[in-house]
């Protein structure tokens, strides 16, 4: 199992990159895509209509737990997650974490969730998590850890300072990740130099500097799934390279 968390400042294109990684990697791997950013729209980027979010299931649990009698609550929650929170797409499963909890105590619900997710996740070859810069689900332990953290940044100063914060945060959270990578996105007119020197300073491996893509913008404007983009475009080819760099050659072999 390889867990890849894709993160970065909002608007840098991390959802586009996550979606394309899911799209390419799910051809050869048993894959789970996790949307753990309340503001993101990974399902739309993938062209999948999601079922319920994990947050919604948790609310149903909170509301109905008093009526469960001697039923086992963990089994109840597990059944709901497997049947109502996981969306089966053609080549992969999708789990949307949804909004954070409301008022009241979620200690028990979250403790059960952690157990269910841990058992569920270990059966996938690859897990791609599109996550917000705060890494909330990691800090809460709902998702127990990531092998690789891919930080996406654009040329903006803010994008880079968020990247720096994520690096610090992931060390603080003791995520036990093997490596943290940087991907520059929407790079124009030699803007890559800033990112390169940032990567050097911070000691983060730079995976690639992705160009600004007219095609992505067009799909975005039309509201069409990003995975419809031309597979042979420069952008898509570069993502495929990143994918095999992260996971291996598609035969389950890890390049690291």
Binding residues for another protein, rule: CB under 8 A, are 62, 65-66, 69-76, 78-79, 82-83, 86, 88, 90, 93, 103-105, 107-109, 111, 116, 118-123
Residue 3: closest CA among 33, 26, 28: 33
> Which is nearer to another protein, 123 or 222 (by Cβ)?
123
Cα(225)–Cα(239) distance, integer angstroms: 16
- Considering the complex, what minimum distance in angstroms separates the CB of residue 78 from another protein? 6
- Considering the complex, what minimum distance in angstroms separates the CB of residue 115 from another protein? 9
> Which is nearer to another protein, 108 or 201 (by Cβ)?
108
CB count within 10 Å of CB 213 equals 22
> Which is nearer to another protein, 73 or 167 (by Cβ)?
73
For 113, the 3-state DSSP assignment is helix
Instruction: Give the residues across from 32 on adjacent strands.
Output: 93, 127
> Which is nearer to another protein, 85 or 183 (by Cβ)?
85
- Considering the complex, what minimum distance in angstroms separates the CB of residue 122 from another protein? 7
- Radius of gyration for the alpha carbons in the chain, expressed in angstroms and rounded: 18
Is the Cβ–Cβ distance between 53 and 85 less than 8 Å?
A: yes
> Which is nearer to another protein, 84 or 215 (by Cβ)?
84
* Residue 102, both tokens: 């409301």
- Considering the complex, what minimum distance in angstroms separates the CB of residue 102 from another protein? 10
- Considering the complex, what minimum distance in angstroms separates the CB of residue 119 from another protein? 3
User: What letter would DSSP give residue 59?
Assistant: H
Phi, psi of 106 (to 5 degrees): -115, 10
């Amino acid at each position: 199992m390889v867990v890849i968390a894709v993160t970065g400042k909002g608007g840098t294109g991390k959802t586009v990159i996550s979606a394309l990684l899911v799209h390419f990697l799910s051809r050869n791997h048993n894959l789970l895509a996790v949307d753990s950013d309340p503001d993101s729209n990974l399902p739309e980027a993938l062209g999948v209509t999601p079922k319920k979010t994990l947050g919604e299931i948790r609310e149903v649990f909170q509301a109905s737990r008093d009526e469960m009698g001697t039923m086992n609550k963990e089994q109840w929650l597990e059944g709901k997650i497997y049947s109502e929170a996981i969306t089966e797409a053609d080549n992969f499963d999708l789990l949307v974490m949804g909004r954070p909890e409301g008022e009241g105590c979620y200690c028990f619900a979250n403790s059960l969730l952690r157990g269910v997710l841990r058992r569920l996740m270990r059966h996938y070859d690859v897990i791609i998590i599109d996550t917000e810069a705060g890494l909330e689900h990691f800090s809460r332990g709902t998702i127990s850890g990531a092998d690789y953290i891919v930080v996406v940044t654009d040329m903006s100063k803010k994008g880079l300072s968020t990247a720096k914060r994520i690096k610090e945060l992931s060390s603080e959270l003791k995520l036990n990740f093997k490596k943290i990578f940087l991907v520059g996105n929407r790079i124009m007119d030699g803007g890559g130099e800033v990112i390169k020197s940032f990567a050097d300073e911070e000691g983060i491996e730079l995976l690639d500097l992705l160009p600004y893509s007219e095609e992505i913008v067009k799909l975005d404007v039309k509201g069409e799934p990003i995975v419809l983009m031309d597979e042979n475009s420069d952008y898509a080819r570069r993502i495929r390279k990143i994918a095999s760099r992260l996971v291996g050659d598609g035969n389950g072999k890890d390049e690291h």
